[in-house]
Structure 1
């Protein structure tokens, strides 16, 4: 008797859990499709009350007409085999006739002395689809000024080159930087700084011929494109300089910040380019940046043009490109380890960060040398050295009690990952070093997903079979789509620092961080936030449900990492 009572209590608890959950529609069906269970979330998602749905037919209530035969076949198979089919994204039908996108899982419960029942568990994807659109918009536009960001501007800049193969058409790129902008943030606060940036954006809009030609590249830098200036270089330069001066005059108009009148000053770097030369967007932007740096050094004028003498920096890039091919052999690389912690600030893992000490140029930022290494192919050798070094480090840690629990996150280049023999190379490194692959986590960037998704998924599955877990780095800033995210065999999502820096209530950063955390939870993925620098950010992320963290608040990257001090 007590045993039956315990069973009844458990059943009651389970039923109440299913009835009360608001996040998941749960329905129960007999073999012929008759509805026998319909929870409150089902009412909300599909529009039918429980009274309307119970006794009705699955095929008439929520299955679109074109799917009926396929669904009948799947239902028959599940009851015949007493098990579910793989979960999938489906477009089902609302009472109103509207389409309801859901992520649907199915199972058949077959208990002794009871008829088998098929249960369907559907997660409503409408809110996630809306969030995806917002994520994609923020991937291309600056959230403060609504101007195109660096990524979108570079795409547009690349498209204008080579458009007129039979006509020499000059264009100019203006790079505008606000003088001492940080002093506004420091003295008046970030709200006043935002107002100043919005003021600059509005000023520049008065001079942009099209919305495609204007962007905020980041912080206090804006860019303005002047296309089709004719084929006379001197006249094109004159037009660009005259417009630059007009831009400066407009920006320097008095504005009110924190109830006081202020005047902004700016510098402009200009580069002229012939669209027939097919320069890539990064090169054009680099030339404008060199000109801007020259303008900042000048005392006679706030405007400067790129010229041949400034190409020294481009020669440095070539020098670095050549040096990268020998950097591994010359032992110029080292790895710094940055702590990753849980909500209790307990150290659980580290991220391995590559550092390069060049004998002539000194310490070079990964943001500068990684794109060069990917462009010249040296990233393959460098990436293999990183994996080898990380494997050896894991073996070293396994022999020390205070380190043995740590796992290691390792950044893998898109070019390296796409190599046909990449998984075999990883297996060889694991064998050579004796490292535990379960302590390895590969961080992949969203750009990896832009091409040949099927091959990428197969590579990921092979790595997981080795025991390696997979993280999607900087989620929400690039190519990743929620529509195919469910296909990827991931273990972790990483929130980009750009969202962590914008966690004010009702801000877009907070909205996106919360969306990513909820998405990770619904897909049983760990979520880690990077770039956590303040206690306020740490606490806000915890309030949003994040459980893992990385940033200067918990420790800076160090080649001489000591777990006991973190």
Structure 2
């Protein structure tokens, strides 16, 4: 067969492939930007039939006026250099004039005896933007009660404390806890427990003029912010206590559960703020929590205020902060490994988890010391120690056939990642140890997305160039959006345990887990679910299409790893 015949067959097959592609808009343009090819998906996406589009320029059809000069320059460059430009998210234009957000990639194709053609392949992001709006809503609101969650509450508290001290009125933050709520779940079931929570949320909404000061922190805890109490501390405290008494009365009102009458017992911790320097929202919640613990120890009252006599917990935090600075030198830190498996429960990799044993404080939970390490900056040194330790572990595994194929996931703090020399330090560690970097996976948190996304993307690209894979931890709970995902060079999404816990109730957490799995599949990203503790969760995740899993069902964190 002649080369010309082969070329003709290839071209025919290529056009058929493009014509049959219903999910991707594919257009072909000559050097002047005139349409020479327009598939059926393009007709649906942009509203122009192939007959209308052929012979017209992309500038007449889909490029908004503000973009035209840049696009013309890019097209000229591609034809001059005979190569495409990096794929990007663009806001193009429908025939009706409405915007069409797309993820667009471009290439220039040369065929013998013919003029080169620039092909544009556009994926429609409009459906993703609808999902993104739902993700954002779920990121700011509790899926069960529809109340604001911790993240939104902290943002609103930040707004309350921004005004100059002299202009601020005193406000009260109340932390509300349902006594022995776990016994309701244990004896009556989680569905009944959910009814209790929604009942309390409705009662609190009736007591609040606006939902701006309401939130559900999680489990059985709610926040109620009572603002504008004047500038006299004694009067403000009196008003706050009166409000707390109203909350107690409303929530103590009998409720019917499973055809039986129940009476809830509630405790409230209160802290006042706004009368002194600016205090972080997380600190206010911690103060209210200290007050709540005091209320739980009282036999004669369900309400307690935070005051300076309750500073023991804060002093303990200071002691931990100081002790962390010596934890590495004193060899108090260690690493345990939690298995990550496939649908056949075959061990594929592990996540490295940090542990701290202190001679005075005993075992300190990561949830207690990691935030302190991030606050005092010691997380950078600790993170480097973790990396060095994990690299040495991988080197040792590589010498043993039964462990040689395992990879290792390492959590990287946002503060550590932000260091200007982070990539350089990682590269030096790899070269010094001789580890296979493809066995390393860095788990990054969504809080990174609050930074300069361009710089973050550049660092991530540099890490991937070293051979390291990247995972976005707890996706859906923080700052990341679907638009960011199109820019970030990721390999994996990790489903937060909160959504996994909601699977068996088939709630909105389950909807979000399903969305994340579908999103990962559409973007060719691996998806791993953490916190899998029951067989029912495992089976449900498989039904949704998840292929990687981590949790107590497959093994608890341990200093030793069992071979696959």
Same fold at TM > 0.5: yes
Deviation at 1:408, TM superposition (A): 0.8
Secondary structure of the structure 2 residue equivalent to 1:275: coil
| Structure 1 pair 52–455 and aligned structure 2 pair: CA distance change class (3 A) | closer
Greater shift after overlay, 82-91 or 328-337? Answer: 82-91
Instruction: Find the counterpart in structure 2 of residue 186 from structure 1.
Output: 186
Instruction: Find the counterpart in structure 2 of residue 121 from structure 1.
Output: 121
State the TM-score, normalizing by the size of structure 2.
0.92
Distance 2:482 2:25 in 1: 20
Instruction: Find the counterpart in structure 2 of residue 228 from structure 1.
Output: 228
Alignment of 1:498-513 (within 5 A): 498-503=498-503, 507-513=507-513
| 2:88/2:487 contact within 8 Å kept | no
Instruction: Find the counterpart in structure 1 of residue 400 from structure 2.
Output: 400
| Structure 1 pair 532–13 and aligned structure 2 pair: CA distance change class (3 A) | farther
Instruction: Find the counterpart in structure 1 of residue 557 from structure 2.
Output: 557
**Do residues 471 (structure 1) and 467 (structure 2) align?**
no
Alignment of 1:105-504 (within 5 A): 105-161=105-161, 163-166=163-166, 169-503=169-503
Instruction: Find the counterpart in structure 1 of residue 42 from structure 2.
Output: 42
Deviation at 1:287, TM superposition (A): 1.6
Secondary structure of the structure 2 residue equivalent to 1:166: helix
Distance 1:167 1:107 in 2: 59
* 1:58-84 Cα shifts (integer Å, max 9, x gaps): 333322344344434433443443322
| 1:62/1:93 contact within 8 Å kept | yes
Distance 1:183 1:404 in 2: 46
| 1:88/1:103 contact within 8 Å kept | yes
Instruction: Find the counterpart in structure 1 of residue 527 from structure 2.
Output: 527
| 1:395/1:435 contact within 8 Å kept | yes
Deviation at 1:121, TM superposition (A): 0.9
Greater shift after overlay, 365-374 or 277-286? Answer: 277-286
| 2:253/2:263 contact within 8 Å kept | yes
Deviation at 1:322, TM superposition (A): 0.6
Deviation at 1:4, TM superposition (A): 11
| Aligned residue pairs, count | 564
Deviation at 1:506, TM superposition (A): 7.3
| Structure 1 pair 518–14 and aligned structure 2 pair: CA distance change class (3 A) | farther
Deviation at 1:200, TM superposition (A): 0.6
**Consecutive unaligned residues in structure 1, runs of 5 or more:** none
Distance 1:421 1:82 in 2: 36
| Structure 1 pair 77–169 and aligned structure 2 pair: CA distance change class (3 A) | closer
RMSD: 2.7
* 1:216-248 Cα shifts (integer Å, max 9, x gaps): 111110011122323443333332222212111
**Consecutive unaligned residues in structure 2, runs of 5 or more:** none
**Do residues 74 (structure 1) and 46 (structure 2) align?**
no
Secondary structure of the structure 2 residue equivalent to 1:229: coil
| 2:446/2:479 contact within 8 Å kept | yes
Distance 1:170 1:122 in 2: 54
Deviation at 1:517, TM superposition (A): 3.0
Deviation at 1:125, TM superposition (A): 0.9
Distance 1:426 1:461 in 2: 13
Instruction: Find the counterpart in structure 2 of residue 97 from structure 1.
Output: 97
State the TM-score, normalizing by the size of structure 1.
0.92
